[in-house]
Amino acid sequence: MTHFMDRLVVAIQARRNPVCVGLDPRRALLPSTICDADELDNRRVADAYSTFCRGVIDVVAPLVPVVKPQSAFFEEFGAPGIDALASIIAYARSRGLIVILDAKRGDIGSTAEAYARGLLGSSEFNSPENTGVPDSLAADAVTVNPYLGGDSLRPFVDVAIARHCGLFVLVKTSNPDGGLFQDLEADGRPVYAHVAAHVESLARETLGGHGYGAVGAVVGATYPDQLAQLRATMPQTWFLVPGYGSQGGTATDVAGAFDDRGFGAIVNNSRGLLFAYRRPEYMDRFGPARWQDAVDAATRGMIAELRAATPAGNLAPR
């Protein structure tokens, strides 16, 4: 089997862009052509989410390398939501997309190992030809919360390596209050810098052929100075960059996340792509009836922005 970050590099080279589409379905924002948001029980919401996310995947699979389902929006609706999530992960992988499950799990010992085994794909499901719903959710990578310490990360690392998967550890998050704890000074530097150093050590321990480890970092677009500083101190760590678009991050803000080759980062956009039909620049042009065309236009627009303003432009045809 191929190292996770090497698979990610191949996927990015094939699409020639580092866009990650966040699959964050929200009942109140779904197009009216998908469902009537006021009259749905859990099963019908889960079915609507499945229909919507599959429709998004159909649009973006030829355009981008990665999708990132947000587990919380599915877990909210109980067992039907989990079933929908598993089927969407399997469908995305059947379309050749790499799937990062945004679950932000964090625990110790056997509990952490159980989370990892339940969320990360085992080797028999690491083929895009597999379209069934596996016993585990079978994502290619998962987001992890490190604040229980190194022994909370080790089980995730071990399972990820055994299953040729990856991790993205929260380091410097994009939310406004992230600095409440992450920016606290300890031994002369902020807490997030200590976390970053540990994540970099795990990346070096798990290097693939393209020079990046199977353990990556979540670093937000809303703090561009810290993003660039962390790239300099974490040369073997791949970044998952949230905060682009609706949270205010721009292509210029994320430029520091990349190496000179255009590698080293994937940039996530969720609401700005999924619900593009509600954005002023697309509302009159497409509207709810043509919501997939709006997803297509917004995705292509983001790709163009990143190519113009970041080293990701080095991935584009010359």
Distance of CA 149 to the CA centre of its chain: 22
Give catalytic residues, as residue numbers. Answer: 104
* List of E strands, 64-184: 66-69, 98-105, 141-144, 166-172
Question: Please, are residues 57 and 85 in contact by the beta-carbon 8 Å criterion?
Answer: no
Q: CA 207 to CA 90: how far, in whole Å?
A: 27
Give Cα 120 to chain centroid, integer Å: 14
Q: Comparing C-alpha atoms, which of 209, 211, 229 is closest to residue 219? A: 229
Phi-psi region of 78 (alpha: psi -120 to 50; beta: other; left: phi over 0): left
Distance CA 197, CA 185 (A): 15
DSSP 8-state code for residue 31: -
Residues 74/66, Cβ–Cβ less than 8 Å: no
Q: Cα 309 vs. chain centroid, distance in angstroms?
A: 21
Map residue 186 onto helix, strand or coil: strand
Q: Identify the residue whose tokens are 């709810």.
A: 288
